[in-house]
Amino acid sequence: MPPSFPVVSWSAVAPQVIVLGVGCLLLLFDLVPPRGRKAHLGVIGLFGLLAALGGSLLLWGEDTRAFREMIALDRFALFFNVIFCVATALVLMLSMDSLPRRGAERGEYYALVLFAVLGMMLMASGTDLIVIFLGLELMSLCLYVLAGFLYRQALRSSESALKYFLLGAFATGFFLYGIALIYGATGSTNLEKVSRLLAQAGPGRDPMLFIGFGLLLVGFGFKTASVPFHMWVPDVYQGAPTAVTALIATASKAAAFAGLLRVLLGAIGPDWRGLLWGLAFLTMTVGNVVAIAQGNLKRMLAYSSVAHAGYMLVALVTASPEGAAGILFYLLVYTFANVGAFGAILLLERGGEEAVEIADYAGLGSRHPALALCLTLFMLSLIGIPPLGGFMGKFYIFAAAIRGGYVWLAILGVLNSVVASYYYLRLIVYMYMREPEGATVERLPSFPAATALAIALWGTIQLGLYPAPIFELARSAVLPLFR
């Protein structure tokens, strides 16, 4: 009797396979000469991501399940693959020159980044709680290491990694416990089965299921940086190498939202709305209000990223296709603007240190007009000023909220964006309206980073002026979740 091999549908995981392969390749290349110079690894990683991006685009329109219904290859996963690849490619471009300058270039960096992307992709494509958990862990473990990558140069980096790890481990514990309870209640970890059983049993009736989902929400709340699970955010963002911060703030947040959407939209009942409503409101408000008080730009962006998670939760509350599509679109514009902002920080140096205090930016407008203009546009996009991408993102989200009848949440949301405009504009105040004091800010020459900024700027403007095609894609991407 011939041995039977399980059928592996490789095509369903093609982007993941590419990323995994390139990641392993990077580990291998790290060992061969030339030693000491690692820039080529970054280039290889970049090409790997572009290949995965291209693969995802080519696969657009596919809708298959594989690995015993544990992995889905649908538009939802592919859309997120695009976000991950774009964000990570930009981050790699930012890292190429900045890592050696900080004396922290080791080959593992690029491999870890790619493995993190693999984890994110698994989260977006998993249709089984276990796969989502595996993806989450793979991504998180890589990010913990990456956050501490400057451990020799800066104590803060170690602190960042340790905090991220400890709190992350807690969140993982909650997450896993949640899965266990759900499994106990339903006998399955498959999302479709779980949501079917949930619908039959009536939402929220079974306390075990309720608590299980609550614990999952805690885990996702941690990864999406939602209040009250946001405590790690400022320290981790501040201490991690800036490129890694950009990765944590954009791609990993996107991955967490991907998982959240997959898990919750199928299983969410009306009794979750109230809880999510409160979560969204708190996340927006706390993030924005605390961001006002920050003098450190990275911390400010950290709290602002909390607030942005809040806006996306507003759309999640509606549990409608428009809202979910709004989240996807928002994640994309948010990625461009945030990677751009962190990229600009990374390019500026004052007295040999990265310029992270807002006061360092005084007079930037006349000293480095192009960079200041880029940063200004990113800030304006984050506020949501038309005609930039951020405005369209907010527009879609609040449109979904109004349509769903969540008028008060929408009102609180837009008022929050007024509060947010205060601290974003404060950076602009420093750049254009105050005179510099002390040592001057230098701009580091870096071609890849400048290219990354240009791409981010293009994305920000393009998505603002002509958002319709991408939004339509997002709309078709969320349809698999509403079957």
Partner 1 sequence: MRVGLLTLVTFVPALGAVLLVCLPRRRDGLLRAVAFGVATLDFLLSLALYFRFNPGNPGMQFVERARWMPGFGVSYVLGIDGISLLLVLLATLLTALALLSAWTAIRDRLKEFLVTVLLLETGMLGVFVALDLFLFYIFWEAMLIPMYFLIGVWGGERKIYAAIKFVLYTMTGSVLMLLAILALYFHHGGQTGQYTFDLLTLQQTTLPPRTQVWLFLAFALAFAIKVPMVPFHTWLPDAHVEAPTAGSVLLAGVLLKMGTYGFLRFCLPLFPHASIQFTPVIAWLAIIGIIYGAWVAMVQPDLKKLVAYSSVSHLGFVMLGLFALNLQGIEGGLLQMVNHGLSTGALFLLVGMIYERRHTRLIEEFGGLWRVLPVFSSLFLVVTLSSIGLPGLNGFVGEFLILVGIFQVKILWAVLATSGIIFAAVYMLWMYQRAIFGPIRHDANRFLTDLSFREVAVLAPIIVLIVWIGVYPKPFLSVTEASVSALVNQVQAKIAQAR
Note the residues at the interface with partner 1 (CB under 8 A): 365-366, 380, 385-387, 391, 395, 398-399, 402-403, 407, 410-411, 414-415, 417-418, 421-422, 425-426, 428-429, 432-434, 467-468, 471-472, 475
Nearer to partner 1, 113 or 410 (CB): 410
**In sequence order, what E strands does 304-406 have?**
348-350, 353-354
- CB of 237 vs partner 1, minimal distance in Å: 25
Nearer to partner 1, 205 or 403 (CB): 403
Between CA 122 and CA 246, with CA 60 as vertex, the angle to 5 degrees is 50
Helix, strand, or coil here: 190?
strand
- Integer distance in angstroms from the first to the last C-alpha of the chain? 42
Residue among 49, 43, 40 nearest 21 (CA)? 49
- CB of 7 vs partner 1, minimal distance in Å: 39
Nearer to partner 1, 14 or 474 (CB): 474
Nearer to partner 1, 425 or 444 (CB): 425
- CB of 399 vs partner 1, minimal distance in Å: 5
Nearer to partner 1, 241 or 389 (CB): 389
Q: What are 210's two structure tokens?
A: 């309720």
What Cα–Cα distance (Å) separates residue 145 from each residue in 353, 376, 413? 22, 32, 35
- CB of 59 vs partner 1, minimal distance in Å: 24
Gap between the Cα atoms of 308 and 408, Å rounded: 18
Residue among 304, 156, 308, 167 nearest 238 (CA)? 156
- CB of 337 vs partner 1, minimal distance in Å: 15
Nearer to partner 1, 102 or 394 (CB): 394
Backbone angles phi, psi at 71, to 5 degrees: -130, 135
Q: Is the CB of residue 171 less than 8 Å from the CB of residue 222? A: yes
Nearer to partner 1, 151 or 398 (CB): 398
CA 216 to chain centre: 18
Nearer to partner 1, 189 or 417 (CB): 417
Nearer to partner 1, 230 or 475 (CB): 475
- CB of 433 vs partner 1, minimal distance in Å: 5
What Cα–Cα distance (Å) separates residue 390 from each residue in 35, 49, 336, 356, 384? 43, 25, 9, 23, 5
- CB of 461 vs partner 1, minimal distance in Å: 12
- CB of 387 vs partner 1, minimal distance in Å: 5
Nearer to partner 1, 231 or 407 (CB): 407
Residue among 440, 310, 462 nearest 377 (CA)? 462
- CB of 410 vs partner 1, minimal distance in Å: 5
- CB of 315 vs partner 1, minimal distance in Å: 13
Backbone angles phi, psi at 349, to 5 degrees: -135, 140
Question: What own/partner pairs with CB < 8 Å and gap ≥ 24 does 18-22 have?
Answer: 18/48, 18/51, 18/52, 18/55, 19/48, 19/49, 19/52, 19/114, 19/115, 19/117, 19/118, 19/121, 20/114, 20/115, 20/118, 21/48, 22/47, 22/48, 22/49, 22/51, 22/52, 22/114
Burial annotation 50-86 (CB, 10 A radius, 16+ → b, else e): ebbbebbeebeebeebbbeebbbbbbbbbbbbbbbbb
